[in-house]
Amino acid sequence: MSERIGHRFRDTGLLQQALTHRSAGTPHNERLEFLGDALVNLIVAEALYAHWPRADEGALTRARAELVRESALAPIARALELGARLTLGPGEMKSGGHRRDSILADALEALVAAIYLDSDFETCRAAVLPWFQEAIDALPPPNKVGKDAKTRLQEWLQGRQKPLPVYTLLAETGEEHAKTFQVSCTLTQPPLVAEGIAHSRRAAEQIAAEAVLEQLAP
């Protein structure tokens, strides 16, 4: 595991604590998670500051939020194969906690803190930054970060003085507590249509807008 995460622990107890969920008893990783959250934000913020020397505070803040949110941290934890190393209580094990985004993201933050406490900030940054580098390099231009698909599509059309899209509810199925919405997004100039399906109408519209944007991409 040392090769995968980029750090060889002197104190293996820190590593074990970082990978122990509170459901398994104490010592668990919640205090480490608290510290790791701050460290991840600092490491990513510093990297973005260097990556975008002309970006304003708003763009940097939005980009950092994109990179350190739960849904971004969990895939990193999976790539590091943390799920298989987690220590969970019986209930969490039975419910598949080792696959849950929230538990994986928390464990990743705790791992960052454990690396820091086992070494120093420079060593921690050297180990952690490569986990995020691909995502940083793949970021869109600063003025596009953090904008949802419907906003980006609207800006694309307005910038070319074309009519705005029309979103149409095609179907609404399922029980009241678990409805599924099917929505279309239609453009007249250029003539394009795409559909999205989700458990809320808003989410379905976003999926449809994203599909249209993919068709518009060169």
What is the C-alpha R_g of the chain? Answer: 21
**Element of type H or E holding 166:** strand 166-173
- Determine whether 109 is an active site residue: yes
Q: Is 155 helix (H, G, I), strand (E, B) or coil?
A: helix
**Does 92 count as an annotated binding residue?**
no
Q: Is 196 helix (H, G, I), strand (E, B) or coil?
A: strand
For residues 60 and 48, the answer to whether their CB atoms sit within 8 Å is yes
pLDDT of residue 3: 86
> Which neighbouring-strand residues pair with 20?
87
pLDDT of residue 177: 67
- At residue 169, φ and ψ (nearest 5 deg) are -75, 115
**Does 101 count as an annotated binding residue?**
no
Cα 201 to Cα 168: distance, rounded to the nearest angstrom: 10
> Which neighbouring-strand residues pair with 168?
184
Q: Which of 3, 11, 81, 109 is catalytic?
A: 109
For the chain of 218 residues, list the mean pLDDT of each consecutive stretch of 10.
90 97 95 98 97 91 90 92 94 90 96 98 97 90 78 90 95 82 95 91 90 86
**Does 33 count as an annotated binding residue?**
yes
**Going from the N-terminus, what domains does the chain have, and what CATH number goes with each?**
2-139 (1.10.1520.10), 149-216 (3.30.160.20)
Q: Which of 37, 92, 118, 205 is catalytic?
A: 37
pLDDT of residue 203: 84
146: nearest Cα among 159, 155, 133, 158: 155
pLDDT of residue 140: 80
pLDDT of residue 44: 97
- Determine whether 11 is an active site residue: no
For residue 42, give every residue at least 6 positions away whose Cβ sits within 8 Å of its Cβ, in sequence order, or none: none
| HSE-CB of 26 using CA atoms within 13 angstroms | 1
- At residue 44, φ and ψ (nearest 5 deg) are -70, -40
Cα 114 to Cα 85: distance, rounded to the nearest angstrom: 15
What the block records as the tokens of 34 is 């608290």
